[in-house]
């Protein structure tokens, strides 16, 4: 991300220089009214200033590799440790979920929810899609396999918070579905 800041700084400087040079050399060849040329210069210099300021912000002020001590000097900052492992935040080599591994994870979810799927097949399908998405964002394939080798209680404790929103949505939809179904009258004898 720091490189983006430096690229924006250079782009801003180049655009400002180009605008300045062009306004000096092209003035004789440009047959537009002076107001149109001023507007062009204003927008070009404004864009250059925006690029330069964004570059300073991203490259210098918001650089995650440097942390200001408040005394003018800066020291390398410590990397933050995420609360849950994720592909984007782990220090290990990035591992990506393949389409096959996502499909296997979703199929496992569908098999685990067979009883509920008998009454609410579409809701379980949506839940498994949601849970698969959350799990693949929170864990790498290797960390998920490692988690699956642990006892069931540890698995539930780790995965529960990750899929909590999916469970809440499915529970609410099941509740609403039950309320919407007409109640059967009691059998008369």
The pLDDT tens digits of the residues spanning 119-176 come to 888 989 999 999 999 999 888 888 899 998 999 999 889 999 999 999 999 889 888 8
- Residue 87's pLDDT is what? 47
Task: Break the chain into its structural domains and give their ranges.
Answer: 2-67, 99-180
This prediction's pTM: 0.47
User: How many CA atoms are closer than 13 Å to the CA of 134, on its beta-carbon side?
Assistant: 18
State the CB neighbour count (10 A cutoff) for residue 131: 22
pLDDT of 85 higher than 50: no
Taking 60 as the threshold, does the pLDDT of residue 90 lie above it? no
């Amino acid at each position: 991300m720091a490189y983006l800041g430096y690229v924006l700084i250079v782009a801003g400087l180049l655009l400002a220089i180009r605008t300045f040079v062009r306004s000096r050399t092209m003035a004789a060849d440009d047959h537009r009214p002076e107001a149109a040329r001023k507007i062009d210069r204003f927008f070009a210099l404004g864009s250059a200033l925006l690029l330069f300021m964004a570059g300073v912000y991203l490259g210098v002020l918001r650089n995650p590799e440097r942390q200001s001590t408040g005394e003018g000097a800066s020291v390398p900052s410590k990397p933050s440790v995420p609360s849950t492992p994720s592909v984007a935040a782990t220090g290990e080599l990035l591992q990506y979920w393949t389409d096959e591994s996502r499909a296997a994870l979703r199929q496992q979810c569908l098999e685990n929810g067979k009883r509920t799927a008998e009454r609410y097949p579409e809701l379980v399908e949506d839940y498994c899609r949601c849970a698969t998405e959350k799990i693949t964002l929170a864990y790498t394939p290797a960390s998920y396999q490692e988690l699956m080798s642990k006892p069931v209680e540890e698995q539930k404790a780790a995965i529960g918070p990750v899929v909590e929103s999916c469970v809440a949505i499915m529970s609410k939809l099941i509740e609403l579905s039950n309320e919407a179904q007409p109640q059967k009258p009691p059998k008369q004898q």
